[in-house]
Structure 1
Amino acid sequence: MTEIHTPVLLTPTLPGMPEDGHARAVIDAVLPAVDCGRFAVKRTAGEKLEVKAHCFADGHDVLRVLLLWRPDGGATHEVPMTLLNNDIWEAEFAAPTPGRYGYSVVAWVDSFASWRHELTRRVDEEDIRVAAQVGAIEIAAAARRASGADQQALTEWAQALDRDAADRSIEGTTLKAQALDDDLAELAGRYPDRRFQTQYIELPLIVDRERARFSSWYELFPRSTGAPGQHGTLRDVESRLPAIARMGFNVLYLPPIHPIGRVDRKGKNNALVTEPGDVGSPWAIGAAEGGHKDILPALGTAEDFRHLVAAAAGHGIDIALDIAFQCAPDHPYVKAHPGWFRWRPDGTVQYAENPPKKYQDIYPFNFECDDWRGLWVELKSVFDHWIHEGVKIFRVDNPHTKAFPFWEWCVTQIKREHPTVIFLAEAFTRPKVMHRLAKLGYSQSYTYFTWRNTKDELVTYFTELAHGPGYEYFRPNVWPNTPDILHEQLQTGGPAMFRLRLVLAATLAASYGIYGPAYELLEHLPRNPGSEEYLDSEKYQIRHWDHGRPDSIAPLIERVNQIRRDNVALQFNRSLRFLPVENDQLLAYAKQSDDGQNVIVTVVNLDPHNAQYGWVHLTPHSIGVDPGGTWQMHDLLSEERYQWQGDYHYVRLDPHHTPAHIMLVRRRTRSEQDFDYYL
């Protein structure tokens, strides 16, 4: 077989020339990418990452494209990419465990595949013979890259093809069929010539555990869990675990559990003057008993906390701890590290303000101080301490008021050391700031859900969350209430409003939470008209809750959370699509699993006072149902079942009976009379 040799001219490299000009493949873009790879895309373990690459080359040669992915410090995996259209290639992978990963794309002009493609179009006898000889050279080159039995098979194929190309007794059609042998071509394709491949930059990927994507949060104040007239303890919190687990929550969030400052302590309803027995705000952290690494003695001991964490885990619940990087005036940091705070000309420390609000009991840190490195190290050590105590989820208070470079360093370091740790950003601030925190590594973020109340507002906002560019890194965690926020709707909408907002939160988003006792017991009185502050807020005093009250909506909460656990469609955000319905007081939307087998359709009456009805537009083919058939919609809230057919479906919801349907699509098979259940 004749080798083809091309003379090499040693021309000196001129300014602007690349070091190697052989690479002809172009990789124009790889998606998803956050800020061109500056920040990481996010997924959870086992969740698919679909990657698209814009790849092409000059001329008409065949391109080979591979998706590369690897765990940080681990071996690289290669996945062939498929050409979709318009030079867009696609492949996917699912990282198996939490951690940091990288992914990239390589492409090259495949000379063997290009030769084979050209040969399929040859019809002239002489053209086929010459092409067969060229192919023999390509196959022989592939054989040299192979070994063992593969090398022998390819060598024999190359020799036979070269020999038969010279044999005039063999017809061109026979020779062509021999050259286009599919099995041998697949074998040769395993050993491509990748010397001139083009590789895209490696893009970062953060993979979290499932709870970062799908979680149900319940917030309570430990000091309010005791018997009437008593200060609650961590052991009292432990006694609440069975009820919280029964309601279906898998994250129990505790506000700060540290010693509370006595200097400038706030009284009930945020009063500036305290009375005997006032317990102060848990967010005014630090006193003579210690600071951010210590526990308020009235709550218990470190051993009590560890016992609580273990007991919660036994119920399938993570303890989420609030981290608030701020200090009471008598926090030990103020005396030991005065340079970490801003001092005013009168010799006092600048307390926190958000005019007209003043927080005299809280000193913020100065991230522009000279000892910023020492401050950073100490603050990270707070996380390290509680991780050592068993905490794997942190809700961070007002992270947008702390330096972004600190968060990028701190969160990145912690997640490298502890990949299963989850961070929730409590950042009710401007959208770009919230998104920056997510880019810096926060696993989840609070949202504007509380203030998105009309149909148009909800459709616009949740379409953005589910389908906007932020989907790749911004995971919403929606809350209808918090200790800081009692929205006007909950103040005036009655029990129906609490029910419908719960259904919205739990079905629109894969992660949601409630400020628990206040929500399940319909707490709705504001401190004063026009305020979003609760009257007799737990932030400033101990409350005792009667969880056995007959008007509690705990049974509804339990049912909704059970529906979330049973239906994988509700455990992701990406499939959310809103369904047309002409009544502005009815909101309809669908979610479905990746395989399309689990489909949930939710319809909510946004009017808490009046029954509303309308026609929901849902086409059968969009949910995998034969257009001419009927199917069953099983309302998982009421256990009622409806027969639907066609494209338009009548719905009527009375908020005094039930404000919503959460319906599972149950398809009828052709071969069975009963319904085929897809769960």
Structure 2
Amino acid sequence: MLNSIQNENCYDGKIEPFPVLAIIDQESKFTIFDASEDSISQPEVRSPGQPFSIIVHPFGYDDQDKVNGFVRWRVTGKEQWNEEPLIKTDSNKWEGSWTPPDSGTYEWNVELWAGQNHPIKEEVDPKEVRFLKVERKDLILAKWHQLDKTIFCNINRLPIAKENDVFLLPVIFPQNQKGLIGGDSKGHYSMDNNITDSSSFGELTHKLASNGITLGMKFPIKCSNQHPFYLSEPHLFNDEGVMDLIGEGWESRRKKWENVFRFWIVQGVEIFSIPEITCFPLSFWDQTIQSLRKDFPYISFVTEEKLSNDFHNRMISAGFSNFETDLIHKGLTFDHDQSTIDKSHDRKSLEEIECSTKDENIAIKTEKLSTDEYLLKIDNEDSSNSRSVMISIKHKSIELSNELIYYARDLSNGNAYRWSGESNEIFLRTGQEHLQFLIEFNN
């Protein structure tokens, strides 16, 4: 807890902000804001649009002093801070609040000072910063269903679920006998042919997306000696199959993993369950998750690994989610007479869309097929390498907010991608010159 510090009021020189004792107001349950150097506070958790309020008790000043203050907040990784005023409600009590607009990890702190002018403060002391975790409301309330490998043979017999429930896929990558990922020079970009193929995977993702189900997948990160990453740089792996992400050139290797996550995100995966997060350093997860969320703010990373309280809190601060939900292991049953989702939400009449990209080697055309469906044609003039391409899409009659979910179905393989907002990413493979997507707004 903060120690009391008596500051002398000095209006002629630099005015230091007062030390404060902040209390988080969470439904009348008050928690002391512990700011000691050796403490690591677990972030509070909110959902987007839910106000985050605090009560501040400053000390080290006289009742006659004019005290001002604000609560400062920003998305972790951003440079610009937002500020909301603190309002005095009692002789030694100030209150303030701010509302996180989207899911993600936020930083916040409190400042109070005496006098009219705010003292110049070039940087915020990291020890004064606390975190707020904002999770998707639908995932907080969702039921999580752990699927087994037979799911791809029983796509028409899915577990009965409600809209926004989570279906978590088992490991679908090729593995060796020890469970390490990699076989026949294939790795995290490939599927084990004994489990599924691109056609069955596309059929499943389209069915889930059409019913509003969120898709997650188990994602082990230890590699066998047949993994492409290992084959290209075997000296960077230890005996357990863990890549070196600390030594020289680690950032380029981190980017390789980020590209793998991007590949599966555009396939429709929104949640990654990592069994062994402690194999990779904290800096890897922090940078990777923050980078991915710039383009895909809705994605989540979770783990079932048993962690110490200290490391658990560090991973939450790095971007991992903690939904504290039990996985439902159900037999595959499907009730054809029971609707799996509620589609009673209002739909507006859609008329025309406009698609574009900043990639100079990409040409885009759109064709209206019906009131709710459009054909998106993509011509790739540079197919010499694989890459991700950001597609901007605008509708002339409605605002495509991040809350509006619609779908893009790859007509070459049937894969359905869950899109939201005006910017979404597609992945182009080497040699892929033409792509066609069916944009569906009727789900």
State the TM-score, normalized to the length of structure 2. Answer: 0.59
The answer to whether residue 170 in structure 2 is matched with residue 255 in structure 1 is yes
1:192-341 matches, within 5 Å, as: 194-196=116-118, 204-221=131-148, 223-225=149-151, 233=152, 236=153, 238-241=155-158, 243-245=159-161, 250-261=165-176, 265=177, 283-288=179-184, 290-341=186-237
* Distance apart, 1:301 and its partner CA: 3.4
Unaligned runs of 5+ in 2: 1-9, 25-32, 342-443
Tell me the residue number matched to 1:44: 47
* Distance apart, 1:400 and its partner CA: 1.9
1:97-108 matches, within 5 Å, as: 97-99=102-104, 101-108=106-113
Tell me the residue number matched to 1:21: 13
1:3-22 matches, within 5 Å, as: 21=13
What is the rounded CA distance, in whole Å, between the counterparts of 2:154 and 2:161 in structure 1?
12
Tell me the residue number matched to 1:401: 279
Q: Structure 1 vs Structure 2: percent identity of aligned residues?
A: 20
Are 2:74 and 2:107, in contact at CA under 8 Å, matched by a contact in 1? yes
Tell me the residue number matched to 1:420: 298
C-alpha distance 367-101 of structure 1, shift in aligned 2 (>3 A): closer
C-alpha distance 379-56 of structure 1, shift in aligned 2 (>3 A): same
In our comparison, the structure showing a higher alpha carbon Rg is: 1
Tell me the residue number matched to 2:427: none
1:174-573 matches, within 5 Å, as: 194-196=116-118, 204-221=131-148, 223-225=149-151, 233=152, 236=153, 238-241=155-158, 243-245=159-161, 250-261=165-176, 265=177, 283-288=179-184, 290-342=186-238, 350=239, 352=240, 363-367=241-245, 370-444=248-322, 476-477=323-324, 511-517=325-331, 547=333
Tell me the residue number matched to 2:350: none
Tell me which amino acid in the other structure corresponds to 2:51.
Answer: K
* Distance apart, 1:317 and its partner CA: 1.4
Provide the secondary structure at the position in 2 that maps to 1:334. Answer: helix
Are 1:218 and 1:249, in contact at CA under 8 Å, matched by a contact in 2? no
Are 1:109 and 1:197, in contact at CA under 8 Å, matched by a contact in 2? no
What is the rounded CA distance, in whole Å, between the counterparts of 1:415 and 1:303 in structure 2?
28
Tell me the residue number matched to 1:59: 62
* Distance apart, 1:107 and its partner CA: 3.3
What is the rounded CA distance, in whole Å, between the counterparts of 2:23 and 2:211 in structure 1?
39
Are 2:225 and 2:234, in contact at CA under 8 Å, matched by a contact in 1? no
C-alpha distance 35-296 of structure 1, shift in aligned 2 (>3 A): farther
Q: How many residues are aligned here?
A: 311
Tell me which amino acid in the other structure corresponds to 2:150.
Answer: S
1:637-652 matches, within 5 Å, as: none
* Distance apart, 1:251 and its partner CA: 0.5
State the TM-score, normalized to the length of structure 1. Answer: 0.40
Tell me the residue number matched to 1:144: none
C-alpha distance 197-295 of structure 1, shift in aligned 2 (>3 A): same
Are 1:340 and 1:366, in contact at CA under 8 Å, matched by a contact in 2? yes
* Distance apart, 1:84 and its partner CA: 5.4
Tell me the residue number matched to 1:675: none
What is the rounded CA distance, in whole Å, between the counterparts of 1:237 and 1:49 in structure 2?
44
What is the rounded CA distance, in whole Å, between the counterparts of 1:339 and 1:512 in structure 2?
39
* Distance apart, 1:69 and its partner CA: 4.1
Are 1:24 and 1:196, in contact at CA under 8 Å, matched by a contact in 2? no
Higher relative contact order (CA 8 A, sep 6+): 2
* Distance apart, 1:219 and its partner CA: 0.4
User: When you count helix as a share of all residues, which structure comes out higher?
Assistant: 1
Tell me which amino acid in the other structure corresponds to 1:224.
Answer: T
Provide the secondary structure at the position in 2 that maps to 1:320. Answer: strand
* Distance apart, 1:397 and its partner CA: 1.2
What is the rounded CA distance, in whole Å, between the counterparts of 1:320 and 1:35 in structure 2?
36
What is the rounded CA distance, in whole Å, between the counterparts of 1:74 and 1:430 in structure 2?
33
What is the rounded CA distance, in whole Å, between the counterparts of 2:295 and 2:130 in structure 1?
20
Are 1:25 and 1:109, in contact at CA under 8 Å, matched by a contact in 2? yes
What is the rounded CA distance, in whole Å, between the counterparts of 1:405 and 1:19 in structure 2?
42
* Distance apart, 1:411 and its partner CA: 2.1
Provide the secondary structure at the position in 2 that maps to 1:327. Answer: coil
Tell me which amino acid in the other structure corresponds to 1:195.
Answer: N
Tell me which amino acid in the other structure corresponds to 1:54.
Answer: H
Instruction: Supply the RMSD in Å over aligned alpha carbons.
Output: 3.8
Provide the secondary structure at the position in 2 that maps to 1:238. Answer: coil
Tell me which amino acid in the other structure corresponds to 1:441.
Answer: G
* Distance apart, 1:326 and its partner CA: 0.9
Query: In the TM superposition, what whole-angstrom CA distance separates every residue of 1:629-668 from its partner, at most 9, and x where no partner exists?
Result: xxxxxxxxxxxxxxxxxxxxxxxxxxxxxxxxxxxxxxxx
* Distance apart, 1:47 and its partner CA: 2.2
C-alpha distance 407-401 of structure 1, shift in aligned 2 (>3 A): same
Query: In the TM superposition, what whole-angstrom CA distance separates every residue of 1:373-401 from its partner, at most 9, and x where no partner exists?
Result: 34322222221211122211111111123
1:631-670 matches, within 5 Å, as: none
Provide the secondary structure at the position in 1 that maps to 2:297. Answer: coil
Tell me the residue number matched to 1:166: none
Tell me the residue number matched to 1:620: none
Provide the secondary structure at the position in 1 that maps to 2:53. Answer: strand
* Distance apart, 1:249 and its partner CA: 7.2
What is the rounded CA distance, in whole Å, between the counterparts of 1:204 and 1:387 in structure 2?
26
Are 2:138 and 2:164, in contact at CA under 8 Å, matched by a contact in 1? no
Are 1:82 and 1:89, in contact at CA under 8 Å, matched by a contact in 2? yes
The answer to whether residue 87 in structure 2 is matched with residue 81 in structure 1 is yes
What is the rounded CA distance, in whole Å, between the counterparts of 2:34 and 2:288 in structure 1?
20
What is the rounded CA distance, in whole Å, between the counterparts of 1:109 and 1:334 in structure 2?
60
Query: In the TM superposition, what whole-angstrom CA distance separates every residue of 1:285-342 from its partner, at most 9, and x where no partner exists?
Result: 2112621011122344335434422321322211101111012342233322202212
Provide the secondary structure at the position in 2 that maps to 1:239. Answer: coil
What is the rounded CA distance, in whole Å, between the counterparts of 1:211 and 1:385 in structure 2?
24
* Distance apart, 1:195 and its partner CA: 1.8
What is the rounded CA distance, in whole Å, between the counterparts of 2:14 and 2:252 in structure 1?
51
C-alpha distance 23-320 of structure 1, shift in aligned 2 (>3 A): same
Mean Cα displacement is larger for which, 206-215 or 389-398? 206-215
* Distance apart, 1:90 and its partner CA: 2.5
What is the rounded CA distance, in whole Å, between the counterparts of 1:27 and 1:198 in structure 2?
16
C-alpha distance 205-429 of structure 1, shift in aligned 2 (>3 A): closer
C-alpha distance 58-431 of structure 1, shift in aligned 2 (>3 A): closer
Are 1:50 and 1:91, in contact at CA under 8 Å, matched by a contact in 2? yes
User: When you count strand as a share of all residues, which structure comes out higher?
Assistant: 2
Query: In the TM superposition, what whole-angstrom CA distance separates every residue of 1:256-312 from its partner, at most 9, and x where no partner exists?
Result: 111233xxx26xxxxxxxxxxxxxxxx432112621011122344335434422321
* Distance apart, 1:52 and its partner CA: 3.0
C-alpha distance 303-82 of structure 1, shift in aligned 2 (>3 A): farther
The answer to whether residue 82 in structure 2 is matched with residue 90 in structure 1 is no
Are 2:131 and 2:317, in contact at CA under 8 Å, matched by a contact in 1? no
